[in-house]
A and B are shown apart, each in its own frame.
Chain A
Amino acid sequence: MRELAQQLLNLEAANQSASDSREHTAVRVCEKLRISLTRFVGPDGFASLMRRSLALARTEVPLLQSINVNSEGALEGIESLATETPQEQGEAAIAIARQLLTLLATFVGEPMTLRLVREAWPTSDE
């Protein structure tokens, strides 16, 4: 799942426009997954998955202690990572995305997770 998370972050970084240049790629990856997955698990369900994912990611990347998940499941406070090195920011972003994808795969399996991800990035195979 680390490769998939990295792939999604790269996709978002490549598609980044001038208007959303200040938004962290991890936020954009999670936001896309939120929109796609909320239809499937509901807002409360997605918020619960994000909270769990963030908690698991924090055990790997302590920097994420300052980040929270709001009631809709969106990441908050990620701008605090701006002072960290690009590598640390990258590790933090990968950790969140990877944990979310892993958690999803734990519940519904890897093939189903990939289908849901493909719904969020319909052009990714091109």
Chain B
Amino acid sequence: MSTPAENDPRQERVNIRKLPTGVPGLDEILGGGLPEYSFNIIAGAPGCGKTTLAHQFLFANATPQSPALYFTVLGEPAIKMLRYQQQFTFFDQSMVDASIRFVNLSQIVLNNDLGAVLEEIIKEVEASNAHIVVVDSFRTVVRRAQATSIEMELQGFIQRLALHLTSWQATTFLIGEYVESELRDNPVFTVADGLFWLYQSIERNSIVRKMQIMKLRGQESVPGLHTFRITDGGLQAFPRTFGLASDSTHVKGQRRLSSGIPEFDELLGGGIPEGDSVLMAGPSGSGKSVLASQFVAEGLRLGEPAVIAIFEEVPTEYTRRAATLGMDFTTPQNDGLLKIIYIRPLDLSVDETVHEVINAVKRIGAQRVVLDSLVGFEMALAPDFRHEFRESLYRMIVALTRLGVTVVSTVEVEENFNSMGLSNYAISFLSDDIVRLRYVSINGQLRKMLLVVKMRGSEHSIDMWEYKITSQGVVIGDRLRGYRGLTTGIPGPWSIESGQNSPNPRDDILPEAKSAHNE
């Protein structure tokens, strides 16, 4: 009485089939889908999407051979539920009755005890051979029972319901308006195999929705809170892993990417190492976006697709501005080599943004990505997400560079003339390479200077260089020699008398520095 399977330890474990949830992103959060025959709870406050999530699951899985039963109990009347749910694109009217049946249990719950409710559910499930069962709202069933039953009776009811539905090979969702304080004492949470908690918070004018898989027996889900959005297509979840759970095979720095400005490439030690995250930090008007655009234009010239995520101006304006600098962004957009994403709905999460950028990167096979700018990005986020901006940004940069793309981010720095900060976000640790642009006051002129502050793992110029923004883009000028205090923005000449820090002070002093000193 033994089989080969029994003798093979590799086949000891039962294979649990994972069902698609029908919610984009949620299968990844669950570790591949919902375990078949599991007994699950969807909890959360009214209006956070519980019923819609259940419907998406039904419409993704129910068939005439494996039908679904949707029990409604004293909550949203079925007729209204159908009226509203059919507005979603996943709702297929032809499936109603053929694959999905709605049964109202309100009267039985109102007039009878838990035994009668259980009997009715069992009767309907057995008669229809339902493979998917939803009770909405189960909280109502329990609340009614709590008023009339002793605690053990309620526990027994939940136990028998779970037993029967699982034995009947049904995958079950109980929907309820629970609050987290109930987690400890409510027997339904103990019995459940899966516990989905949906949250919704309003801050100022934005709504933030998040979900958490608090419990999932039999498989590893992605922990933590995941943002989700309710769209015409129903719920869409944005996993914290951004769909990049597997190890990256990309090796950074295998080649250098040209910035489109040969002189700038030289300062960078031969170009930007492929797969790096580069931060262009500087004040408004210093040419960060121009440098980023030239980086993209050079990639396009070499046949490397690119994605530009912009937050402060619309794509047409961005394209037009690039054209004034001699860069054609229209043709590559039409050819599918360039995607300019404009993101500014003001209630975004970082996860949504990254989801959109990553999708675009995958879609066109982008090798270069520009985020222009991080300040605009932060402003586009819902207030609730801003306090975790740094942490989210870190996850985004990691996610993008794992894809092997090279990311150039711009960040606006509030300029002062005492010191040279790298950014106002303390995010420089996120970047492999940092280029600082700044204004300097020289000889009565406000000039522009750039400095390669950091190139992780490679040599780079340590000099400060003047540059100009011309009709052809950024043009690197001369090295700024002979000044001290360049990083403050108000330099002065090196002291000729002391020869301070200058190996050959006389040679270092430029005529204009001398004249500035004499003024």
Contact = CB atoms under 8 A, between A and B. Distances in A.
Interface stretch (A20-28, A74-82, A84-92, A107-115): A107-115
Contacts of A108: 14
A106 B169 contact: yes
Given A48-B164, A52-B167, A107 B37 contact: yes
B163 A42 contact: yes
A110 B6 CA distance: 7
A48 B163 contact: yes
B12 interface: yes
Interface string B6-45: 1000011111000000000000000000000100000000
A112 B12 CA distance: 8
Contacts of A63: none
Contacts of B37: 106-107
A48 B5 contact: no
Contacts of B159: 44
A103 B167 contact: yes
A44 to B, nearest CB: 5
Interface string A95-126: 00000000101111111101101100100110
A4 to B, nearest CB: 7
Given A44-B160, A111-B11, A112-B14, A51 B2 contact: no
Main secondary structure of the interface of A (DSSP, over half): helix
B1 A110 contact: no
A51 B6 contact: no
B129 interface: yes
B14 to A, nearest CB: 3
A22 to B, nearest CB: 27
Contact of A55 (B5, B14, B126, B160): B126
Contacts of B164: 44, 48, 51
Contact of A7 (B1, B6, B14, B126): B1
A51 B119 CA distance: 13
A111 B1 contact: no
5 contacts: A4-B1, A107-B14, A109-B12, A109-B13, A111-B6
Interface of B: 1-3, 5-6, 11-15, 37, 126, 129, 159-160, 163-164, 166-169
Interface of A: 4, 7, 41-42, 44-45, 48-49, 51-52, 55, 103, 105-112, 114-115, 117-118, 121, 124-125
